[in-house]
Chain A
């Protein structure tokens, strides 16, 4: 009898202790946040931004992870499969429709009380990619686009006075630059939508019709075929660098080291160059204008919350924090262009050495197809372009085939 009572007492004491621990730990929240910032951005984020947030929210610790960007998508997929999702991620805007469709994201427009406030603060173009099936599943975090980067030294060596303004000049200049020893005129980092769509669009072509129902008739249009054929020729003649097929110098290294005369890239590169190449100064210009104008691709990241998160309110606080003016301007220092509309008028942006070009380019930039099958569509497109460059298929054949496959995906 005595023993029973004794054990009961022990049990009670244990329970009380556990409850205390439970209470204490309920007050301490850890937010796991996967961003994909490069080392320069990460340094700034971890040293400046996070401490500011944690100072304002003392009961929240932010566990931020700099996932290498090319492993990011796969990591998300595996974590969904394994039920080990973080609280928030900084997702490429092209992934959001698919994730929303899988049902793993929190519909912010429904669950975040002051969503409307933020909805109205951001550029409409940046908000759109977050929309899926009637709700908004994320808020934009940063935006960007790709512009032309040209190597001043190489241009002088080739007697070229400035960047090409038209598509025709662009092709010409690439040839001229390639005549220099060990130099390629233009280099691209891959064959996916992010890489080739700016060229396609500027040349007057499209991927799908406006309602996004089919690709046949659009992807395999004469202007796209013409563009691909041009690229093949350029690759052959040595004016297009091998990086487009994943080999050789990366676009960044090649450009900074004087092997690639022109590349197309985003605002974050400036900080990277400053970090890795001491004496180098990047020169930027609007994309050369073709039949379709000077049209680039809209990039950017959205901040999304996973349904599996146990700390949704804290996550929302973090989102609000990241969309504050000061924070947006702070990240702008490392190449993260702000998404808040009125910030474009701010003195920081107005006086910025190169954001002007990017904002200008963004006026005409277009988004990649906002569809849950986008990752697969991107793959089909990339494979088609790769095969054409490897001279296995003619441009017409490859684009015809790809268009058919994409038609099915758009069903």
Chain B
């Protein structure tokens, strides 16, 4: 196999490095600004290493506005949403992968088409529905809607994976008199860990970052989620950028750490779904 010439390797490295810098510099600058006091936030020339670094932004962000509450809200909502989605979507995916039933095709296309339109498109009637069901301004209401928003995507991911599982084990179980639930819980699910992990990651991330619906549906201060809280630090008239970024770091850091540790799951499940089409 012809090895890349030294020069083309160097060029590629340089380009990759350039791209990597572009990817990370905004974040680094954000980190840097989070340690600056307000009067230094827009100094010229901009400094990467703050002159008088301070922790005041972090302290203020965490203590001033009940931040740990928002953090908890986001965490709980994301967690519960993920758990529910895992259960209901895998069940639905199993139905699609293994069963034939009346209306299967219609249902399939219905779910498929919901993936093709922007979920935000429905925000107006969803708002009214939530109002009528008294789900507004409540965290359970948020979970409800989040689950609904993720069912389709997760079902697809899981269905693809389930269909690829070999049938022998299932057939053997059935011949031994095992029921569908046994097959589902004892065979299919345990074998689907990678795919389930992917769904977990995506759904959790969705709940963690979701902004528009949380902004619109939640009014009560104690029920805000992180993205909405960060947004409220930003005012058109005068933004305290140091504060905004300190708060943002609180939101981003857990995700970054989880990503670095669990990269494989992010990427593996995603690509397997993609290649199979």
Contact = CB atoms under 8 A, between A and B. Distances in A.
Please tell me whether chains A and B touch each other in their complex, using a CB distance cut-off of 8 A. Answer: yes
Interface string B222-251: 100000000111111111000000000000
A246 B236 contact: yes
Interface string A239-256: 000000010011011001
Interface stretch (B89-97, B106-114, B213-221): B213-221
Contacts of B137: 82, 84
A63 B223 CA distance: 13
B219 A250 contact: no
Q: Which of B65, B130, B234, B238 has the most CB of A within 10 A?
A: B238
A39 interface: yes
A277 B37 CA distance: 10
B39 A276 contact: yes
A78 interface: yes
A160 B130 CA distance: 61
Contacts of A84: 131, 136-137, 219-220
Given A75-B219, A82-B136, A250 B131 contact: no
Tell me the dominant secondary structure on chain A's binding face: mixed
B243 to A, nearest CB: 9
Contacts, number: 60
Contacts of A253: 38-39, 42, 238
B218 to A, nearest CB: 9
B64 interface: yes
Nearest to B38: A276
Interface residues of B, number: 25
Contact of A250 (B127, B221, B222, B238): B238
A86 B39 CA distance: 35
B106 to A, nearest CB: 33
B237 A69 contact: yes
B237 A257 contact: no
Nearest to A252: B238
A37 to B, nearest CB: 13
A205 interface: no
Contact of B217 (A39, A82, A246, A256): A82
B235 A68 contact: yes
Nearest to A182: B44
A82 B219 contact: yes
B158 to A, nearest CB: 34
B131 A83 contact: yes
Contacts of B221: 63, 65
A81 interface: yes
B127 A189 contact: no
A112 to B, nearest CB: 25
Contacts of B220: 32, 65, 84
A54 B214 CA distance: 31
Given A82-B136, A250-B238, 4 more contacts: A82-B130, A250-B239, A252-B238, A256-B39
Interface of B: 38-39, 42, 64-65, 127, 130-131, 136-137, 216-217, 219-222, 231-239
Q: Which 10 A-B pairs have the closest CB atoms?
A: A250-B238, A70-B236, A65-B221, A84-B137, A84-B219, A82-B136, A68-B235, A68-B232, A82-B131, A79-B219
